[in-house]
A and B are shown apart, each in its own frame.
Chain A
Amino acid sequence: MGAGSKLFGAVVAVAVFLAVIGVLLLLIDNAPKRGRERIQAFLFLLPALIMLAIGLVVPVVRTTILSLSNDAGHFIGLGNFRWIWQTDEARKALDNTIIWVAVAPIAATVIGLGYAVAIDKARGEPFWKALVFLPTGISGVGAGVIWSLMYAQPLGNPGHQRQLGLVNQLLSLVGLGPLNFPISTPSNTFLIIVVMIWIQAGFATVILSAAIKGVPAELTEAAKIDGANAWQSFRRVTVPAIRPTLTAVFVIVAIATLKVFDIVRTMYQNQGSADVLANLMFDQYATSSPGNNGANHSAALALTIFVLVLPFMAYQIVQMKRRA
C-alpha cells in the first residue's frame, strides 16, 4: 500500500546503490595500481560525482531550461527575464532586494563590530555577548511574528483599543503617529530589514569578537607605546588584522540577505510593495496556473538570485585564495 511500498522501494533502491558502489570500490581497489592512479582516482570520485549530478547539476539544468521556456514547454528565450524587468510587481521586488543588500550586510557588520569592541574585556562580557547572540537562534518566522506584533497598528478608538504594538506605543509617547506597517512604502521594507539586522548582528558580534581576541596583544601594545589613541589603534591595527574575518562576515550576511524569504514571508502581507525576489519566486510558483508561466517566472527569479549571489561568492573565494 501507498506509503509502505514506497518506503520499501526507496530502501531497496538505496541498498542496491550501496551494493553496486561497494562492489565497484572493491574491484577498483583490487585492480593493479601502477600507472593508473588517475583512472583510479576518477573511479573513486565517481560516486560523489553521480550524487552531485543528481542533486545539483540536474536541478540547475532543469531550472535553467524552465526559465527559458513557457509553461507549454516552448523555448521563449529571455522572455521570463524580460517579465521580471517589465512587470511592476517583479521590478519592485528586484529593487527592494537591492535595497536589502545595500543596507542589511553593512549595518549588521558595523553594529556587530561596534558591539564586539564595546564589550571586549568588559565585565560580564559573555552575558552581553549572549544577549545580542540570542536573536540568531530564533527562526526567521519566529522573529517575523515577534516584530509584526511589535509594529502592530492601533485598532479601535482611543479609549477601547484592542491592540497596539510596542513601537507605536513608544512613538505615541513622543507624539509621533503610528508606523502604518505594513502598508506604507517604502518604510515597510526598512522596518523588515531591521529584523534581519537584529538577527545577523549577533552572529557578526560573536565571530568578530573572536577575531579581535586573536589580534596579538603585542601589536596593540606597540601602537600604544608609539602614542596611538584608542581610535587610531582600532582603525590602524585591529581592523586590518581582522579584515579577512570582516569580509567573511559581510559576505555571509550578504548572501543570506539575497536569499531572504522567511522574514519577508511572515511580515509582508502582499501589502504596499515590500516584496523581495525569493518571496516572489515562491509566490509565482504557488499561484501559477495553466497559461500564466508562473513556474517559469519562478525559475527565472531563482536564476536571478543565483546570478546576484555569484559576485559575493567569487569575492569570498578570491579572499580565501589570497590568504592561503
Chain B
Amino acid sequence: MHWKRVAELGSAGIALVAVIAACSSSKKTGGGGGKTTGASAECASFSKWQGHSGKKVSMYSSITDPEGASLRTSWKTFEKCTGITINYQADKAFEAQLKIKVDGGNAPDLAIIPQPGLLANFVAAGKLKPASATTKSEAESGWSKDWITYGTVNGTFYAAPMGANAKSFIWYSPKAFKDKGYTVPTTWDEMIALSDKIVADGGKPWCAGIESGDATGWPATDWMEELMLRMYGPDVYDQWAQHKIPFNDPKVLDVLKKVGSILKNPKYVNGGIGDVKSIATTAFQKGGLPIETGDCYLHAQASFYAANWDKGTTVGPDGDVFAFYEPPVNTQFPHPVEGGGEFVGAFSDRPEVQAVQEYLATADWANSRALVTKGSGGGWLSANKGVNPDNLGSDIDKLSFQLLTDPKTVFRFDASDTMPSSVGAGSFWKQMTQWITGQSDQTTLNNIEKSWPK
C-alpha cells in the first residue's frame, strides 16, 4: 500500500472519530440542566432534598411492569420538585445481571435488592455504600427492629426496606368452607384434623406447585421456613439460616418430615392436579387454582398470590377465595410471621443518590406508592408503620399489613433469601425439587449441607 493512501485512511478515521466525539459531547451539554424546580405547596415537603436539580440517578431492580410502572409513578412528584431524574431499569434476570454489572464496573447508583443474602455479598465485596444517618432514622421510625436487622451487615446499616409481603398464609375458599361446614383452623392440629375430615369426605385437601423456571423449588423452601419458625421458634430459625447449626441437624430433619407429612402425603395432595410428583411440574402461579373449582381446599402461599386468581374470582373474607394466618404449631411461639421484601442499596454516595435513598425510606413515599395501586385493586404493601391502612387497595393487603405491623408478631425474613445465594438460590431449591420427586429427607439435607460455602 502506498503511504499516501495509508495517510488518507488514517486521517479519515481520525476525522470520523472526532465527529462522533463532538456529537456525543454536544449531546451531553444539550441534555440535563435547564429543568425548573417546582415550587408551591406540593413541593414544600421535598425541600430537604432540593439543590440537586438536573442530576440523574440510575436505579436497577427486578420489579418489571406493571409494578415497575407503579414505582415510577410513585416518585413523580419527588422528581418534579427536586429536579432529580431517576433512570429506572428493571430486569427479570436481576440477581445474575447485577453481579455482572458490579463486577464489570457498571454498578447502578441504586439497586432494589430482594435478598439480604445478596446485599451482604456486595457488602463483603466492598461495593455497597452505607446508608446516610437520615435514611437510617427514617427506616427506624417506620419499620420494626426485625426488619432493620436485615438491612444491616456487621453493625452498619446499608439499606432501608421498601416493600414487604407476608408469606404465612393459607389460601382457601370461604364459600366452599361455608357449604361444607368447615371452619378456619387456629392451631396446626386443627388444620390437620380439617385435612383428615376433607379426606374422609372424599376430597383432596391440599394443592401445590413449585415450578418457577430457573427458580423452581422456592415454594417448597417456604414450607420448610414456616414450619421451622413454628416448631422451633425464631432463635433456632436464625441459627439455621446463618448455618450455626448444620443443615442436616436433627431439628431440620424433623421439620422436613413434618413438611413431608403434608406435601408428600398422597392422601392430601395434589388436589385437582395429580399425584405428589405433579407438584414439581406445576407452575407455582397455578398451584392454588383448583380451589376455584372445589378440587382442592388449602394452598399455602404468600399474600402476593392474590394476583394469580382467574378473572372474576372475588378475593375477600366472604368471597370465592381468601387467606387465613398459617396457624402456630408450638404454643411457645404463638405468633410468628414469615415474609419478604426489598431493600434499597446504594453503590454510590453522591448527594443526589443519597437524597433518593432517603426519600424511598420515608412513610410519605410508602403512602404515595400504596395510593398508586389502590385504584387497581391493590397488590402492594409495606410494613412501614407510617402507612395509612386506608391507602391499601385490598382486603388481603390490609390483612397482611395488620399481620406484619402487629406488635405481637415475631417477624422473620424468608431464610433462603438470607442464606448465601449458592444455597438459598441454588442447592436449597434444587434439592427440595428432588425431594418432591422422591429423594429421601436425609439425602436432601445432606446434599444441601455439603453445598454450604466453607
Contact partners of A293 in chain B: CB under 8 A: 453
Shortest Cβ distance from residue A102 to the other chain B in the assembled complex, whole angstroms:
25
A30 touching B3, Cβ below 8 Å: yes
Alpha-carbon distance between A19 and B15 when the two chains are bound, in angstroms? 10
Shortest Cβ distance from residue B289 to the other chain A in the assembled complex, whole angstroms:
7
Alpha-carbon distance between A320 and B142 when the two chains are bound, in angstroms? 71
Alpha-carbon distance between A287 and B423 when the two chains are bound, in angstroms? 8
Shortest Cβ distance from residue A65 to the other chain B in the assembled complex, whole angstroms:
16
1/0 per residue, CB under 8 A from B, across A5-34: the answer is 101100110110011011101100110000
Contact partners of A288 in chain B: CB under 8 A: 99, 421-422
Contact partners of A30 in chain B: CB under 8 A: 3
Contact partners of A19 in chain B: CB under 8 A: 10, 14
A182 touching B281, Cβ below 8 Å: yes
B21 touching A11, Cβ below 8 Å: yes
Count CB-based A-B contacts (< 8 Å). 146
Count how many chain A residues have C-beta atoms less than 8 Å from C-beta atoms of the other chain. 52
B58 touching A2, Cβ below 8 Å: yes
A8 touching B96, Cβ below 8 Å: no
Alpha-carbon distance between A7 and B17 when the two chains are bound, in angstroms? 13
Contact partners of B215 in chain A: CB under 8 A: 270
Alpha-carbon distance between A289 and B422 when the two chains are bound, in angstroms? 6
Q: Would you list which residues of chain B between 166 and 221 have a CB under 8 Å from chain A?
A: 211-217
Contact partners of A18 in chain B: CB under 8 A: 10, 13-14, 17
Partner of B295, one of A157, A282, A289: A157
Q: Check: B39 CB closer than 8 A to any chain A CB.
A: no
Q: Check: B251 CB closer than 8 A to any chain A CB.
A: no
Q: Would you list which residues of chain B between 205 and 252 have a CB under 8 Å from chain A?
A: 211-217
Count how many chain B residues have C-beta atoms less than 8 Å from C-beta atoms of the other chain. 67
1/0 per residue, CB under 8 A from A, across B24-38: the answer is 110110011000000
Which residue of B is nearest A289, CB measured?
Answer: B420
Q: Check: A95 CB closer than 8 A to any chain B CB.
A: no
Q: Check: B63 CB closer than 8 A to any chain A CB.
A: no
Q: Check: B20 CB closer than 8 A to any chain A CB.
A: yes
Q: Check: B277 CB closer than 8 A to any chain A CB.
A: yes
A22 touching B11, Cβ below 8 Å: yes
Partner of A290, one of B109, B125, B425: B125
Most buried by A among B21, B124, B212, B425: B21
B21 touching A15, Cβ below 8 Å: yes
B282 touching A155, Cβ below 8 Å: yes
Shortest Cβ distance from residue A125 to the other chain B in the assembled complex, whole angstroms:
41
Q: Would you list which residues of chain B between 401 and 454 have a CB under 8 Å from chain A?
A: 420-422, 425-427, 429-430, 433-434, 437, 447, 451-454
1/0 per residue, CB under 8 A from B, across A153-188: the answer is 111110010100000000000000000111100000
Q: Check: B1 CB closer than 8 A to any chain A CB.
A: yes
Shortest Cβ distance from residue B270 to the other chain A in the assembled complex, whole angstroms:
10
Alpha-carbon distance between A182 and B96 when the two chains are bound, in angstroms? 23
Contact partners of B13 in chain A: CB under 8 A: 18, 22
Partner of A8, one of B18, B24, B272, B281: B24
Contact partners of A287 in chain B: CB under 8 A: 421-422, 425-426
Contact partners of B293 in chain A: CB under 8 A: 160
A156 touching B433, Cβ below 8 Å: no
Q: Check: A114 CB closer than 8 A to any chain B CB.
A: no
Which residue of B is nearest A3, CB measured?
Answer: B58
Q: Check: A244 CB closer than 8 A to any chain B CB.
A: no
Most buried by B among A160, A162, A181, A183: A183
Contact partners of A12 in chain B: CB under 8 A: 21
Contact partners of A265 in chain B: CB under 8 A: 214
A156 touching B280, Cβ below 8 Å: no
Alpha-carbon distance between A250 and B278 when the two chains are bound, in angstroms? 38
A1 touching B447, Cβ below 8 Å: no
Shortest Cβ distance from residue A126 to the other chain B in the assembled complex, whole angstroms:
39
B426 touching A291, Cβ below 8 Å: no
Q: Check: B121 CB closer than 8 A to any chain A CB.
A: yes
5 additional A-B pairs beyond A22-B7, A290-B124, beta carbons within 8 Å, are: A15-B17, A15-B18, A25-B6, A289-B422, A290-B121
Q: Give me 24 A-to-B residue pairs in the complex whose CB atoms sit less than 8 angstroms apart, sorted by A's number.
A: A7-B24, A11-B21, A11-B24, A18-B10, A18-B13, A18-B14, A18-B17, A22-B7, A22-B10, A22-B11, A22-B13, A25-B6, A26-B3, A89-B430, A180-B281, A269-B213, A271-B216, A271-B281, A271-B437, A286-B96, A287-B422, A287-B426, A288-B99, A289-B121
Binding site for B on A (CB under 8 A): 1-5, 7-8, 11-12, 14-15, 18-19, 21-23, 25-26, 29-30, 88-89, 153-157, 160, 162, 180-183, 265, 269-273, 282-294
